[in-house]
Amino acid sequence: MAEGQSRRQTTEQRRAAEAWKAVSEVERGEQGKYSTWVRKLPALIQSNGLGSAMAFLYVKNPSLYRHVSRWVTEHLNYQGGDLLDLIRRASAEEYRRATAEAIVYAGWLKRYVEGLGWKTEEE
């Protein structure tokens, strides 16, 4: 196995572990709302940009915002605050990396929510 593959797998394993931890923190009564927004998040980021999507999520689902913020800021070694702070201060390269990481991480959250059979608010 190539060194790059090993490192990527390790990153994927860390994403998966953090996503599982995040999903495990969701209160039973909040699962439908969380599930709804997790499923929408990747498309929301791609269509509106990371900044707009996270500002919207900050209001609509603070726990999901916190989970994404925690992972992205830790993964990018950002010490200056939460994800909205990173977005305001980021260079174009940092913003691109944060966007890509948020989308990939949201994919892990979505897999777990679907795997656990959580219904959306509409279901």
pTM of the model: 0.90
Instruction: Determine the Cα–Cα distance for residues 64 and 41; give it in Å rounded to an integer.
Output: 10
Grade residue 109 by pLDDT with cuts at 50, 70 and 90: very high
Cα dihedral across residues 89, 76, 64, 35: positive or negative: positive
- Fold classified for 32-123: Peroxidase; domain 1 (1.10.520)
Domain ranges of the chain: 32-123
Confidence of residue 74 (pLDDT cuts 50, 70, 90): very high
Structure confidence by residue, pLDDT tens digits, 44-73: 999 999 999 999 999 999 999 999 999 999
